[in-house]
């Protein structure tokens, strides 16, 4: 007797007495594919903001605890408290690094999605003498008039 048949023998009488339909032996086959219909950009932004805010809140609380622990360490002069103080300081530094990494990842995601992170400024500086400018204009077919200026004018 198979495992399924044993289960049916046990559960069928229970199902009948309770007046419910048993799901044993019924295998559901679904050919449906789950389709994501959300806005991925909005989710990325909200995840980033939540993660950033959580990290900042945690860092602020850890900083407050660091202040209190520093006072306690000064008062008690116990080596264990100084050890905890050093660990907490290291944890705060790592949290700050995580916050920076989070921002870097957000920028990378924006670059991959083809979005610009801000305005792009292109500074093209051309430094020429008047003679060089005239030569460049003449090379491009622009007519220029030149007038020689004497020092006594």
Q: For 19-30, how does the pLDDT look when each residue is reduced to its tens digit (9 = 90+)?
A: 777 666 555 555
Q: What SS3 class is residue 29?
A: coil
% of the chain residues with pLDDT over 90: 32
Domain ranges of the chain: 62-111
* Report for 2-11, 16-25, 30-39, 82-91: range of highest mean pLDDT: 82-91
Q: Crossing angle of helices 79-112/40-76, nearest 10°? A: 160
Query: pLDDT tens, 37-47?
Result: 567 778 888 88
CB 59 within 8 A of CB 99: yes
pLDDT band for position 15 (cuts 50, 70, 90): confident
Per the confidence metrics, is the pTM higher than 0.75? no
At residue 43, the pLDDT reads: 81
How far is it, in rounded angstroms, from Cα 46 to Cα 94?
A: 23
Q: How confident is the model at residue 142 (pLDDT cuts 50, 70, 90)?
A: low
């Amino acid at each position: 007797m198979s495992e399924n048949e044993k289960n049916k023998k046990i559960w069928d009488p229970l199902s009948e007495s309770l007046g419910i339909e048993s799901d044993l032996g019924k295998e559901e086959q679904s050919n449906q594919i789950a389709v994501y219909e959300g806005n991925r950009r909005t989710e990325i932004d909200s995840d980033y903001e939540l993660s950033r805010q959580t990290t900042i809140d945690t860092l602020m609380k850890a900083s407050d605890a660091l202040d209190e622990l520093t006072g306690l360490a000064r008062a008690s002069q116990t080596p264990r408290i100084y050890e905890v103080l050093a660990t907490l300081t290291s944890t705060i530094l790592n949290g700050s690094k995580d916050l920076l990494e989070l921002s870097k990842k957000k920028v990378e995601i924006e670059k991959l999605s083809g979005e610009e992170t801000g305005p792009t400024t292109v500074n093209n500086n051309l430094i020429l003498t008047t003679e060089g400018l005239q030569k460049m204009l003449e090379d491009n077919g622009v007519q220029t008039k030149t007038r020689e200026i004497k020092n006594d004018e």
